[in-house]
Amino acid sequence: MKITPYSLGALLLTLLALPAPTPAVADPTPVVAHRRHSAAEIATFLTSFYGHHGPSTHDRDQRVSQLLKEKQAYSRNADVLLCAQDEPQDIAIGAVTIAPLAGIGWATVTTHWGAGRTDTFTAYVRLDSRPIKLDDVICAG
């Protein structure tokens, strides 16, 4: 391709005919990255949520995911948040593990029953949930 002064002039005229880019306008609301929950925050939440005998009616209504509410609606014979049919004598929360790439944190929850009997299940919390909520529970047995 041979470039002549006329072709350069035509290119310049074409470029000048294009609309000028508009300058970016700053958004007055700053972009805030969603901070993810830490293992310590999840441990505090689970300890508060479960207490010593299980979640309160308010916590069951306000601090669980829609998934768990639906699970409970289909499981009338058992409490899906406790993986049980009765109220435990005590509840202990194990160490919290977080998986940042998966966006989830979890801990083993141990329920204590009469005669030294215990049971365990895993409680899951999404790292980006706002406000923090119990996302899912998987029973051990």
Which DSSP symbol is given to 114?
G
Distances 8 to 12, 21, 141 between C-alpha atoms, Å:
6, 22, 77
Domains and CATH numbers, the chain: 39-139 (3.10.450.50)
Which DSSP symbol is given to 21?
P
Q: What is the pLDDT along the chain (141 residues), one digit of tens a residue?
A: 555 544 545 544 454 555 655 555 554 555 445 689 999 999 999 999 999 999 999 999 999 999 999 999 999 899 999 999 999 999 999 999 999 999 999 999 999 999 999 999 999 999 999 999 999 999 986
Which DSSP symbol is given to 115?
G
Quote the CA–CA distance of 62 and 132 in Å, as a whole number: 10
Quote the CA–CA distance of 92 and 71 in Å, as a whole number: 23
Q: What is the pTM of this model?
A: 0.75
How is residue 1 written in tokens?
């391709």
Quote the CA–CA distance of 119 and 139 in Å, as a whole number: 9
